[in-house]
């Protein structure tokens, strides 16, 4: 949902320059990752994982819900796809005080809800109140909104936020502040607003929900911002269809049959062993690897340090030494991944600049650490015991496909005298238990923003806030001090220097058994779409295809004819490196 604007004043604010009054100016630019050749129409069907518990992003913080919800509701500002500087959204312009504490937003007079009602300051006020209400399951948003006083309505289209303290991310927060219609939500139980959104402001509306199976969005020809130049060439599909699968292998089989148009690949085995059939050889299905600057995710086995078992860092470190990453990467991921040695890898110039080394598999060190932590005796079955309690814990998981990794880990832990159980559950159950911190260990993966703010994931204040991102219960006074130190710094390089020191502390405390990451995006799709030459954008994941691609009836016809006659199509590039400045 990136909208383009080059505003020297907005950019000045992000870089810490202080003009007398930072005022955004109307946008006149075209999104450089979009194409002026794009055409409206057609459909795009892709697969996703298990069905979400909600399509309300404020209640269900995951990538799928984030994409859907941001397709329904516009935010006050957007971020430029090249510079990540702010550009107009619902707010056509704004002022920022010289002390960087007061933000005054002027709503675009053209902004309308899908029922024709104007978007007003009352809607902004209502959204703030709903998110700050402690009865609502919106704790993650309260982290950010608690930095501000209750907003002030200046007039029907003007609203002012005042921050308690200077924070580099205060203004950027409003790029994720999606405004809700007061006249629709008022008086309703916000926690139950999950799958019905009759009035929206964004480029798509909800067409159909088949719970447990699929979600369909339809393009709005009456979207208030459709004619703006920076939205041209985007949001082209009349229908976006998401089919839900508990297992990626089932989704892939559906894709090969042609029931799905586009398939993001998460399993290396699938990429390496199941993409050599006639459909791939003859380019009916395109196989592409995309390199851009999307920050690599960090993933690992999160340990719930609220549980006594994981409160000793020596135990957590021992569990890290017990994971044979090298073998798993070689045998199970076909060397596609690199072992993680950082929680914020993209803040370093390259992997070689990261001073920490990945924890190497070493059972002798693991045993030594466990003995130091008091786990030296065993019971009649050979399991470690301490104070009469067996060393036993359970991995809570929601993907059957990862069981092969967990089984290998289970075998190694058994050698150490640790009983490691595996519990596979549904996504909805998993999410609820993680939100309630009702787990021992879980496999967690986190997408990272370009500009890192670690407060929600590593602040002690968030450790006991339900439904937050600090799922491990991480608490450290030095990290807390650094989080506060980061807030008034607008220079990204200076912030990154602090983040690197913080990264070292978190790494040494092992709240996660860090796993591995990937520096590219792997996609498969039927060769019937047209798209910009960059395929995706600078900082995007695969979801950008739904924003920038479009249907090509001629390519669709050519594909059908080729399949009917057994003819090969011309190959598409196997590797695409995104031009960071865009270009059609």
Contacts for 210 with CB less than 8 Å, ≥ 6 apart: none
Q: Residue 269 and residue 194: Cα distance in Å, rounded?
A: 35
The structure's pTM equals 0.89
Query: Is the same domain home to 324 and 425?
Result: yes
* Per-residue pLDDT tens digits for 164-174: 999 999 999 99
Residue 431 has pLDDT above 50, yes or no: yes
* Per-residue pLDDT tens digits for 248-274: 889 999 999 999 999 999 999 999 999
Residue 107 has pLDDT above 60, yes or no: yes
584 close to 533: Cβ distance less than 8 angstroms: yes
Query: What pLDDT is stored for residue 464 in this prediction?
Result: 87
Q: Would 112 be classed as within a structural domain?
A: yes
Domain boundary among 144, 168, 192: 192
* Per-residue pLDDT tens digits for 433-475: 998 999 999 999 998 889 999 999 999 999 988 878 999 999 9
Query: Is the same domain home to 272 and 404?
Result: no
Query: Is the same domain home to 440 and 315?
Result: yes
Query: Is the same domain home to 290 and 306?
Result: no
* Total residue count of the chain as it appears in this document: 584
Q: Residue 31 and residue 83: Cα distance in Å, rounded?
A: 12
Query: Is the same domain home to 277 and 334?
Result: no
Question: For residue 288, which of 259, 262, 253 has the smallest C-alpha distance?
Answer: 262
Q: Would 462 be classed as within a structural domain?
A: no
Query: What pLDDT is stored for residue 584 in this prediction?
Result: 62
What are 205's strand-pairing partners?
Answer: 218
Query: What pLDDT is stored for residue 253 in this prediction?
Result: 95
Query: What pLDDT is stored for residue 559 in this prediction?
Result: 98
Q: Would 288 be classed as within a structural domain?
A: yes
Query: Is the same domain home to 551 and 510?
Result: no
299 close to 516: Cβ distance less than 8 angstroms: yes
48 close to 63: Cβ distance less than 8 angstroms: no
E-strand ranges in 128-183 read 152-155, 158-162
Question: For residue 135, which of 78, 190, 80, 177 has the smallest C-alpha distance?
Answer: 190
Q: What is the DSSP string of 543-584?
A: GGHHHH-EE-HHHHHHHHHHHHHTPPPPPPPSEEE--TT---
Query: Is the same domain home to 224 and 348?
Result: no
Q: Residue 310 and residue 304: Cα distance in Å, rounded?
A: 7
Domain count along the chain: 3
Give the range of the structural domain holding residue 172, as residue numbers without chain letter: 8-35+71-192
Query: What pLDDT is stored for residue 580 in this prediction?
Result: 81
* Per-residue pLDDT tens digits for 152-162: 999 999 999 99
Domain with residue 507: its CATH number is 3.10.105.10
Q: Would 461 be classed as within a structural domain?
A: no
Residue 279 has pLDDT above 60, yes or no: yes
Residue 13 has pLDDT above 60, yes or no: no
- Mean pLDDT calculated for residue range 357-366: 97
Query: Is the same domain home to 280 and 346?
Result: no
Query: What pLDDT is stored for residue 11 in this prediction?
Result: 33
Query: Is the same domain home to 318 and 229?
Result: no
Question: For residue 280, which of 579, 583, 581, 574 has the smallest C-alpha distance?
Answer: 574
- For residue 401, the Cα-to-chain-centroid distance in whole angstroms is 21
Query: Is the same domain home to 124 and 160?
Result: yes
- Mean pLDDT calculated for residue range 165-189: 95
Query: Is the same domain home to 132 and 277?
Result: no
Residue 310 has pLDDT above 70, yes or no: yes
Q: Would 371 be classed as within a structural domain?
A: yes
- Mean pLDDT calculated for residue range 49-68: 91
Domain with residue 150: its CATH number is 3.90.76.10
Q: Would 25 be classed as within a structural domain?
A: yes
Question: For residue 516, which of 322, 291, 342 has the smallest C-alpha distance?
Answer: 342
Contacts for 518 with CB less than 8 Å, ≥ 6 apart: 296, 336, 337, 338
Q: Would 340 be classed as within a structural domain?
A: yes
Query: Is the same domain home to 307 and 393?
Result: yes
Q: Would 136 be classed as within a structural domain?
A: yes
Domain boundary among 171, 192, 213: 192
Query: What pLDDT is stored for residue 22 in this prediction?
Result: 44
Query: What pLDDT is stored for residue 247 in this prediction?
Result: 81
Q: What is the DSSP letter of 299?
A: E
């Amino acid at each position: 949902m990136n909208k383009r604007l080059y505003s020297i004043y907005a950019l000045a604010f992000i870089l810490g320059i202080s003009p007398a009054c930072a005022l955004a100016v109307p946008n006149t630019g075209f999104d450089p990752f979009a194409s002026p050749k794009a055409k409206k129409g057609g459909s795009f069907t892709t697969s996703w994982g298990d069905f979400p518990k909600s399509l309300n992003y404020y209640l269900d913080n995951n990538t799928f819900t984030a994409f859907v919800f941001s397709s329904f509701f516009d935010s006050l500002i957007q971020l430029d796809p090249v510079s990540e500087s702010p550009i107009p959204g619902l707010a056509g312009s704004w002022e920022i005080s010289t002390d960087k504490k007061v933000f005054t937003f002027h709503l675009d007079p053209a902004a309308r809800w899908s029922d024709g009602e104007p978007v007003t300051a009352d809607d902004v006020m209502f959204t703030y109140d709903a998110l700050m209400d402690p009865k609502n399951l919106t704790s993650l948003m309260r982290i950010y909104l608690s930095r501000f006083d209750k907003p002030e309505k200046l007039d029907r289209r003007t609203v002012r936020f005042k921050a308690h303290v200077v924070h580099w991310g205060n203004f950027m927060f409003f790029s994720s502040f999606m405004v809700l219609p007061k006249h629709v939500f008022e008086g309703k139980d916000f926690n139950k607003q999950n799958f019905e959104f009759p009035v929206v402001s964004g480029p798509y509306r909800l067409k159909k929900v088949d719970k447990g199976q699929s979600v369909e969005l339809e393009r709005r020809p009456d979207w208030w911002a459709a004619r703006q130049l920076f939205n041209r060439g985007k949001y082209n599909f009349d229908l976006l269809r998401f089919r839900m699968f508990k297992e990626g292998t089932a989704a892939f089989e559906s894709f090969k049959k042609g029931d799905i148009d586009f398939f993001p690949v998460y399993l290396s085995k699938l990429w390496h062993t199941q993409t050599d059939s006639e459909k791939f050889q003859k380019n009916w299905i395109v196989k592409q690897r995309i390199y851009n600057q999307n920050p690599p995710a960090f993933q690992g086995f999160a340990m719930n340090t609220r549980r006594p078992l994981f409160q000793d860092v020596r135990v957590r470190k021992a569990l890290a030494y017990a994971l044979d990453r090298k073998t798993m990467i070689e045998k199970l991921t076909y060397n596609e991944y690199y072992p993680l040695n950082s929680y914020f890898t993209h803040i370093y110039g390259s992997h070689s600049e990261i001073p920490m080394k990945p924890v190497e598999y070493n059972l002798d060190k693991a045993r030594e650490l466990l003995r130091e932590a008091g786990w030296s005796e065993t019971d009649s079955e050979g399991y470690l015991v301490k104070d009469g309690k067996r060393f036993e814990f359970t991995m809570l998981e929601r993907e059957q496909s990862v069981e092969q990794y967990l089984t290998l880990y289970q075998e190694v832990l058994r050698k150490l005298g640790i009983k490691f159980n595996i519990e596979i559950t549904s996504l909805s159950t998993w999410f609820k238990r993680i939100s309630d911190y009702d787990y021992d260990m879980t496999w967690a993966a986190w997408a990272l923003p370009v500009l890192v703010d670690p407060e929600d994931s590593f602040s002690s204040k968030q450790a006991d806030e339900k439904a937050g991102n600090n799922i491990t219960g991480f608490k450290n006074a030095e990290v807390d001090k650094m989080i506060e130190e980061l807030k008034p710094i607008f220079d990204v390089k200076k912030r990154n220097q602090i983040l690197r020191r913080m990264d070292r502390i978190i790494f040494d405390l092992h709240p996660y058994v860090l796993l591995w990451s990937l520096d590219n995006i792997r996609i498969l799709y039927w060769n019937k779409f047209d798209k910009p030459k960059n395929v995706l954008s600078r900082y995007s994941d695969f979801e950008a295809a739904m924003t920038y691609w479009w249907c090509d009836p001629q390519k669709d016809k050519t594909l059908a004819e080729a399949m009917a006659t057994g003819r090969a199509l011309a190959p598409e590039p196997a590797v695409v490196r995104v031009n960071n400045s865009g270009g059609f």
